[in-house]
Amino acid sequence: MATTTHDDTEQLVRRYFGIVADLGSSVADLDSVAAPDAVFRELPNPISPGGATRDLEATRAGFAAGKARLTAQRIDIEEILVMADRAVVRSRWEGEIGTTRIVAHMAGFVRVRDGLIVEHITYDCYEPFSL
């Protein structure tokens, strides 16, 4: 098992968020930063009222579907706190579906193993919007 440093973890997390935010990125890009056994957990929010826990296969499908639906998207990382193989990320997401702009303030908890994301738990707080 490779040793993960603070800088390695932060760089990987920034790369991962960049891939997620980039509408031009591919599922292969996502695979380059996520472990095959990765788990992605989204707590309940207006987009996913029941929340969701997804494996990598389900995350790939959601990743592609989101890119097809969004007309614009960005994620601004406001703060990253790293301790060994874990990172806490405070960020702001903006997306557009047609002419509707949606904004979420997010807190994410990311775990890394052997240079890949193995877990991402996200708490998304959306500003009011209507589709």
Give the pLDDT confidence of 49-70 residue by residue, as tens digits. Answer: 999 999 999 999 999 999 999 9
Q: Which residues of 108-131 are buried (b: 16+ CB within 10 A; e: fewer)?
A: bebbbeeebbbbbebbbeeeeeee
Residue 3 is predicted with a pLDDT of 55
Domains of the chain: 6-126 (3.10.450.50)
- This prediction has a pTM of 0.92
Mean of pLDDT values over 20-42: 97
pLDDT in tens, 83-104: 989 999 999 999 999 999 999 9
